[in-house]
Structure formats: structure tokens, C-alpha cells
């Protein structure tokens, strides 16, 4: 079976519950729509859990991109008291933006790691892909973090620019591919109206699986879809 789960944003407990809910087996595959890190729960422990799972494949989210960009500039021997030394103004600005957008917990936890653990995190993030193309039960799917900005059905999925994969959004009535289904997260479904709160949005041409796991106060939860039969799962 092939599953796609929405943005985890550090929600380790929800991830563990989802594994039980779908009865994840070693022969199954799970794709995550990016923004695995973020939020205030336990993003680094979540990353280390995912690292051990050879059948789980995270996509690059905007938060992973910014986080990787920032930590790649930090000196290997730096700690949480002096990490900023030697960083240029652009990196400091990018880091400030990342911290304000929900990245403070993951950054602080990262700086508590040993140099070897930090290196393993950086190497793991480098494995995240911008998109995936899958065929499951005669259905064709394209997976990205946020959809595809400036969408053109005649353009191949690999021909878009970096931020087209990371900062897009698609309205429920929008028509995309004729022969493929675009699957993504990034924008919590409750932002499209009360009737979508805590629900996956499925149309003929796309599926938004980001049900806002980190926004429990707004009715959000973790959503997942099984591509084999399009069955939905929630925790």
C-alpha cells in the first residue's frame, strides 16, 4: 500500500498514532508532504524516528529548505551560545524568519545535538525530494509540498522553479492535470472554509492532505490518504 500524509510539523505523537491507524507494514510506503519539522512538540525526535524507516519518504517543505539553508552556514564546532558568529547578514535574516515561522523548537533542539548527530540530520535533509511521480492502481500521481505555482498542465513536474514546489496553493475548484492527480500539503484545509476543517480536500485533479495537525485549536488534525483506493485516515 502507498500512503501520503500531510505536514507533520514536529507532531511526533500524531505520527506514532498514524502508524498504528494504518497498520504500517514494511512492504508499505509512506510519503510525507514536507514541513516535517516546525511546531513546538518534538521535531528532532521525529526526524530521528523517520531516519530509521526505509519505507518513509519525506518531500522537501519550505521549513526544511530554510532550516537546511541556515544550519549549513553554522560552524561545525559552534554551540547554542555562539552559533551566530561568522554568519552573514542574509543568513541571519533567513534564520530570524525561520524562528518566527515556528522553527524555534527544532533549531534549539538541533543545537543541543552532538556534532555527529547534527551531521546526520543535515545529511538526512539532503535526501528530501522536491517532487515524486507515482503510478498506483493505474492512477498517476505527482507529489509536492505545496502544489505547483504557475501551473501548466503541459509542463513536466521537474521543469518548475524551486519555490514553485514550496510556496504554492490551489483552490478547491481549481482544475489541474487531466491525466494525473497532484497531491500536496502546505496550506491547511481549514483555510478554504469551515466545511474543510480537519478534512482532506479531494477533487478530480488534486488532493490536499494538510489538515493542520499543529493547529488543534482550530480543529486541525493529521490527515493521510491511501493512494491505492483513496481511503482517508485521520488522527
- What does the pLDDT profile of the chain (235 residues) look like in tens digits? 999 999 999 999 999 999 999 999 999 999 999 999 988 789 999 999 999 999 999 999 999 999 999 899 888 888 878 888 878 888 888 888 888 888 899 999 999 999 999 999 999 999 999 999 999 999 999 999 999 999 999 999 999 999 999 999 999 989 999 999 999 999 999 999 999 999 999 999 999 999 999 999 999 999 999 999 999 999 9
Residue 81: what pLDDT? 84
Residue 97: what pLDDT? 87
Please give the Cα distance from 21 to 234 (Å, whole number): 8
Residue 33: what pLDDT? 98
Residue 164: what pLDDT? 98
The burial class, CB within 10 Å (0-12 / 13-18 / 19+), for 48 is middle
Residue 186: what pLDDT? 97
- Prediction pTM value: 0.95
Nearest to 210 by CA among 200, 195, 225: 200
Residues with Cβ within 8 Å of 91's Cβ and at least 6 positions away in sequence, in order, are 69, 70, 73
Question: Phi, psi (5° rounding) for residue 164?
Answer: -65, -30
Q: Which residue has the cell 513536474?
A: 157
Residue 82: what pLDDT? 84
Regarding beta strands 29-32 and 2-5, do their DSSP bridges make them parallel or antiparallel, or are they unpaired? parallel
Residue 85: what pLDDT? 81
The burial class, CB within 10 Å (0-12 / 13-18 / 19+), for 203 is middle
- Residue 11 contacts residue 222 (beta carbons within 8 Å): yes
Class of domain 2-70+128-234: alpha beta
Please give the Cα distance from 32 to 128 (Å, whole number): 10
Three-state SS across the chain? Answer: CEEEECCCCCCHHHHHHHHHHCCCCCCCEEEECCCCCCCCCCHHHHHHHHHCCCCEEEECCHHHHHHHHHHCCCCCCCCCCCCCCCCCHHHHHHHHHHHHHHHHHHHHHHHCCCHHHHHHHHHHHCCCECEEEEEECCEEEEEECCCCCCCCCCCCHHHCCHHHHHCCCCCCCCCCCCCCEEEECCCCHHHHCHHHCCCCEECCCEEECCCCCCCHHHCCCCEEEECCCCEEEEC
Amino acid at each position: 500500500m502507498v500512503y501520503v500524509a500531510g505536514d507533520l510539523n514536529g507532531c511526533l505523537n500524531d505520527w506514532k498514532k498514524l502508524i498504528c491507524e494504518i497498520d504500517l507494514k514494511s512492504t508499505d510506503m509512506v510519503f510525507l508532504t514536507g514541513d516535517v519539522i516546525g511546531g513546538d512538540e518534538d521535531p528532532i525526535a521525529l526526524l530521528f524516528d523517520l531516519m530509521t524507516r526505509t519505507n518513509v519518504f519525506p518531500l522537501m517543505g519550505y521549513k526544511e529548505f530554510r532550516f537546511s539553508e541556515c544550519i549549513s552556514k553554522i560552524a561545525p564546532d559552534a554551540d547554542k551560545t555562539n552559533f551566530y558568529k561568522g554568519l552573514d547578514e542574509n543568513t541571519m535574516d533567513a534564520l530570524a524568519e525561520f524562528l518566527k515561522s515556528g522553527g524555534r523548537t527544532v533549531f534549539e533542539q538541533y543545537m543541543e545535538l552532538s556534532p555527529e548527530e547534527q551531521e546526520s540530520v543535515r545529511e538526512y535533509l539532503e535526501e528530501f525530494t522536491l517532487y515524486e511521480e507515482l503510478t498506483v492502481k493505474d492512477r498517476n500521481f505527482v507529489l509536492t509540498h505545496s502544489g505547483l505555482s504557475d501551473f501548466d498542465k503541459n509542463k513536466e513536474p521537474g521543469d518548475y522553479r524551486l519555490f514553485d514546489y514550496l510556496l504554492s496553493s490551489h483552490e478547491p475548484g481549481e482544475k489541474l492535470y487531466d491525466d494525473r492527480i497532484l497531491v500536496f500539503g502546505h496550506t491547511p484545509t481549514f483555510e478554504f472554509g469551515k466545511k474543510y476543517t480537519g478534512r482532506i480536500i479531494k477533487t478530480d485533479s488534486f488532493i490536499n492532505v494538510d489538515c493542520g495537525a499543529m493547529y488543534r485549536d482550530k480543529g486541525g488534525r493529521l490527515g493521510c490518504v491511501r493512494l491505492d483506493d483513496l481511503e482517508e485516515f485521520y488522527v
